[in-house]
Amino acid sequence: MADRILISNTQFVRVKSLRNETFFITCKPKDSVSMVKYCVYLMCGLPVEDMKLYIRNRLLEDVSSLYDQQVANDTVLFLVSKKPDGSWENVSQFMPGNDQSPLSRTFENLSPGLKSPE
């Protein structure tokens, strides 16, 4: 029975970057957003302080738990990183309807000739 509790308490989160990278993170609802950032750091070397994570168009707070931020199993988070000049990448590039967004490009690849959903 303990195995069931452990398995049901584990969730998977995908973190997508503007560089067409996707990081698959195994975590728990009680884990903090900072922990997810640290996992991304371990995979790609980007410093945690140079990351912002968004769910849809909402910035996630580092100290909050995934549960508190309504990050459920199989959620896609969007990684925005700091540029060398100190400015941040534009999160709106992730939003559907933006022809340059990774979401729009993915949708076009899956369904040629169809427009991404608004």
Q: Which domain holds residue 6?
A: 2-82
Q: Please report whether residue 101 resides in a domain.
A: no
DSSP letters spanning the chain: -HHHHHHHT-EEEEEEETTS-EEEEEE-TTSBHHHHHHHHHHHH---GGGEEEEETTEEPPTTSBTTTTT--TTEEEEEEEB-TTS-B--GGGGSTT-TTSHHHHHHHHHSTTPPPP-
Question: How many domains does the structure of the chain reveal?
Answer: 1
Question: Could you list the pLDDT tens digit for every one of the 118 residues in the chain?
Answer: 455 444 568 999 999 999 889 999 999 999 999 999 999 999 999 999 999 999 988 999 999 999 999 999 999 999 999 999 999 998 887 766 554 444 444 434 433 444 444 4
Q: Please report whether residue 65 resides in a domain.
A: yes
